[in-house]
Structure 1
Amino acid sequence: MAAWVVWMVLAVVFGVAEVYTLTAVLGLLGGAALLTSGAAAIGLPLPLQLVVFALASAAGLLAIRPIARRHLHQPQLQRFGIDALIGRKAYALTEVTVRDGTVRIGGEEWTARSFADGVVIPPGATVHVMQIDGATAIVYPEE
């Protein structure tokens, strides 16, 4: 079997393993094996193929992996789903107590409860969404 085929198979194996591990290490090794496959295809002897693989692997692991890790661990810039509702203004549609009520948040009706015990929010009042508990907004009156 030709050496370039062996390197190509190794690149595919690393690529498939990367899909299952998602570490970015095996993908970089697969890229190095792919580069080495090209070097083998042009006729480089085995010792030089190993040098190409070692250099390409080291370059990928030392240069590309830190950049990829930085991008993976960046904080999420935008809040989505129910997290995006926290802190927004809402309007009481019915009286909101510590037990029940309804509010309108951005055009949607939500069941709501008052944030503090004993606080009764009248209909039409502006409130702030403090948290979301399941499908219920926990709100506090704007003052």
Structure 2
Amino acid sequence: MAKQLEEAVEAIVEDIVRDSAMEVVDVEYVKERDWYLRVYLDKEGGIEIDDCQRVSEELEKILDEKDLLNEAYILEVSSPGLDRTLKKARDFEREQGKMVEVTFYAPVDGEKIWVGTLTGYDREKNAIVLDGEREIFLEKTAQVRLHIDF
């Protein structure tokens, strides 16, 4: 059910931001202590608080009208952050040439985390390439995110 709701909300937000420079990066509906509906947006130069507020207000109004959520929830609209998680094909295609951190479910070559430059993405194989040589099938990964050196 969460996946269907996330997809429905993503379609609504895509309509809201259609005529702007913003893009929908991700939508999550997760149970922590409470239910959270999180919408992550981005645009060239970064998202501003006014962008988040506008989308939040419009989305809240539409969600109330459509009555899509049965339980109480907390709506959060924000930027995905500098170390954003990469999930979709467009993420892997857009972020090529950048450093990523790949976390595996189980160790691969003795390591659970690999860091390298994202140099390729194969839609058919659903695999990424690190450093021009290491092919990683995404079903073996727990998470792929942009890597930030501190």
TM bucket (normalised to shorter chain) is: under 0.3
Report which of the two has the higher share of helix: 1
Structure showing greater radius of gyration is: 1
Q: TM-score normalized by structure 1?
A: 0.24
Which is bigger in relative contact order (C-alpha 8 A, separation at least 6)? 2
- Using the size of structure 2 for normalisation, the TM-score is 0.23
The structure with more strand, counted as a fraction of residues: 2
